[in-house]
Amino acid sequence: MSAVAVNLRPARLAATLAALLTGGCTAVGPDFQRPDVPWLENWPVSPELAEALAPPAAEVPHDTWWLVFDDPALDAVVAEAQRSNPSVRVAGSRIMEARAQLGIAGSALYPQLQQLSGQAFRVGQDASDVPSQSYNSYGAAFDIAWEMDFWGKFRRGIEASDAAYFASVAQYDDVQVLVAAQAASFYATIRTFEQRLRIAHENAALQQRSLEITERLFKSGNESELDVQQAKSLYLGTLATIPDLESALRQAQNALSTLLGRPPGPLPEMATGYEHIPEAGLEVIVEMPADLLRRRPDVRTAEMQLAAQSALIGVSEAELYPSIALVGTVGISDTSQAGSASTLNWAAGPAFAWNVFDYGRLKNQVLVQDARFQQLYEVYQDTVLRAARELDDAAVSFAKGRTQVDLLEQAVQAAKRSLDIATIQYQEGLVDFERVLDSQRTLFAQQDRLVATRGGVTQSLVSLYKAMGGGWQAGRSRAVLDEATRATMSERSNWKDDLLTAPLPPAAEAFPPPKP
């Protein structure tokens, strides 16, 4: 046994010996406390965000915010994304990994060494002057060692694994939020491009009729070729926008199909309903900003990772103290020699170990874990800050977008009226054809801008709901792994059914209390 290192203070040695004599057990290291965010309680939210957080007249469950769009196809797309998206499946597998890691940590409370060994030999001796001699030798032994958790090293390890498990569940929740928002966003993008294509085709048809009229007038000698070429330029320019829109539409369809885990291509269930972009108001009652942000899955993930790292400080600090274990061994041996007797050997007792001369390395390992804790603390603060920014950005974008839509609707009506007036005046010979072309050009631009802005408002609303962190709750009631995956994993590695099929904690337990 090593002597006490000179840099170990006498007070620490006295406390250690007293603890050993009294048989007391403790858990060294800090007890995790939920981190405070000083600015959050008095956050001066913008007027747009305050309006978004005001309780509406109609109440819609926060965990199914996409229902406010009243679009069955959208509901089906979001539901499939939350079940079948590859990232969701990866997050589910990480929960299985965390459960297995938690089982490893829990096994440390039981005897750490349980070893059964045995041997069988044929022993012989050959010499030139004596007859050959040989016999069989047999032996078996069982060794056990159980380190007592005086300093809470193993309990802190379980605490770290438990927090890591809840972090994996929060990550699973976060993926549910992300894929729901992405599915709704891609859906709105597809509907927006469909509407922009419709507007482009309608305006192209209108401009084609004008071109045909100018061509007839030119052939009859009533108009100049300039009107024909200007009409043709406008018509062909409008047609040229269609391939870009079709390409962007197909890319959005491929993105949504991939999100759902399907091969690229249009979704058959979206073949109807293309006549409108999903629109809705903000109709979900939410919490105050402080509680709202803390309950976001990404913020909860950062918090649970911080809790796990806090426990690892205790694990490292426990290495500074001596370990006490109960050890035992029992063995039996025998041979085939005539007259030999079987022998039973056994031993049991306590064992003591203390890395006193390794104090510097162990102490610095504690400091390493503490520095990592501080890094994760800063990550947590940054996560909350970014969440607040995302929430405010989405609220402002949604509010300003709705104002812009109102103005653009008036602009479209004015453009239509302007085209009607220009057409009448042209037919009466009061204005030249250039005024008609300008009016057609303005109408197409304003209609396209209105449709794009409406799609942007829907995107902003989706972003606002995503920033609120809703949409993960239903995932807690579904199986983490599908039946085929469970069967494959069970057959490949003999997983226990309770690890693969155990339900997730209810949504109400999204905030597990820190364990001492």
Q: Per residue in 149-202, pLDDT tens?
A: 888 888 999 999 999 999 999 999 999 999 999 999 999 999 999 999 999 999
Task: Supply the pLDDT for residue 3.
Answer: 34
Q: How many percent of the chain have pLDDT more than 70?
A: 88
Q: How far is CA 372 from CA 28, 330, 365, 487, in A?
A: 18, 44, 11, 38
What integer pLDDT is reported at residue 429 of this predicted model?
Answer: 83
d(CA 61, CA 283): 9
Measured CA to CA, the distance from residue 333 to residue 121 in angstroms comes to 11
Residue 120 CA: distances (Å) to CA of 182, 210, 224, 229, 334:
65, 102, 111, 102, 10
Of 150-154, 225-229, 348-352, 452-456, which one has max mean pLDDT? 452-456
d(CA 445, CA 241): 11
All domains of the chain in start order, with CATH: 26-108+155-321+359-509 (1.20.1600.10)
**pTM for this structure?**
0.84
If we measure between CA atoms, which residue out of 301, 307, 80 comes closest to residue 169?
A: 301
Strand runs labelled E in 60-199: 113-125, 133-147
Confidence at 499, pLDDT banded by 50, 70, 90? confident
Question: How confident is the model over 6-52, as pLDDT tens digits?
Answer: 333 443 443 444 344 334 568 898 999 989 998 888 888 788 777 76
Residue type, 271: A
Residue 106 pLDDT > 70: yes
Residue 273 pLDDT grade (very low, low, confident, very high; cuts 50, 70, 90): confident
* Torsional sign, CA 371, 377, 380, 386: negative
Rounded Cα distance, 213 and 235, in Å: 13
Angle at 458 between CA 454 and CA 463, to 5 degrees: 140
What is the mean predicted confidence (pLDDT) over 344-360? 85
Asked if 123 contacts 135 with a C-beta cutoff of 8 angstroms, the reply is yes
Q: Which two tokens stand for residue 436?
A: 């008609």
pLDDT for the residue numbered 62: 66
pLDDT for 317 beyond 90: yes
pLDDT at 56 over 70: no
Given the DSSP bridges, would you call strands 343-353 and 323-335 parallel, antiparallel or unpaired? antiparallel
Distance (Å, whole) CA 174 – CA 9: 47
Label the pairing between strands 323-335 and 113-125: unpaired
The pLDDT > 90 percentage for the chain reads 47
Tell me the average pLDDT across 469-489. Answer: 88
The answer to whether the CB of 476 falls within 8 A of the CB of 507 is yes
b/e per residue 230-243 (b: at least 16 CB within 10 A): bbbebbeebeebee
The chain-wide mean pLDDT, for the chain, equals 85
Amino acid code (one letter) for 265? G
In this prediction, residues 98-123 reach a mean pLDDT of 83
What is the rounded end-to-end Cα distance, in angstroms, of the chain? Answer: 33
Bridge partners of 346, per DSSP, are 330
Poorest-pLDDT segment among 41-45, 91-95, 255-259, 452-456: 41-45
Residue of 489, 126, 142 whose CA lies nearest to 346: 142
Kindly report the backbone phi and psi dihedral angles of residue 336, in degrees, each rounded to the nearest multiple of 5, phi listed first: -90, 5
CB of 387 closer than 8 Å to CB of 463: no
3-state helix, strand, coil in the chain (%, to 5): 65, 10, 25
User: Of the candidates 286, 296, 278, which has an alpha carbon nearest to the alpha carbon of residue 67?
Assistant: 278
pLDDT reading at 206 higher than 60: yes
Sign of CA dihedral 394, 396, 399, 404: negative
Q: How far is CA 17 from CA 33, 183, 324, 399, 499, in A?
A: 30, 62, 12, 67, 42
The conformation of residue 346, written as its DSSP 8-state character, comes to E
User: Tell me, what's the pLDDT at 80?
Assistant: 94
Residues 6+ apart with CB under 8 A from 261: 84, 85, 86
Please calculate the CA angle 439-444-447 and round it to the nearest 5 degrees. 120
Which candidate, 469, 298, 496, places its Cα nearest to that of 382?
298
Question: Residues 119-123: what's their mean pLDDT?
Answer: 80
Q: How confident is the model at residue 81 (pLDDT cuts 50, 70, 90)?
A: very high
Residue-wise pLDDT tens digits, 381-416:
999 999 999 989 998 999 899 999 999 999 999 999
Tell me: the pLDDT tens digits for 280-292? 876 655 566 777 7
Alpha helices in 220-345 (DSSP H): 225-259, 289-294, 297-318
- pLDDT surpasses 80 at 353: yes
d(CA 134, CA 61): 83
Q: Which long-range contacts (CB under 8 A, 24 or more apart) does 57-60 make?
A: 58/283, 59/283, 59/284, 59/285, 60/283, 60/284, 60/285
Query: How many Cβ atoms from other residues are within 10 Å of residue 57's Cβ?
Result: 6
Give the helix/strand (H/E) hosting 451. Answer: helix 433-467
- 425 pLDDT higher than 70: yes
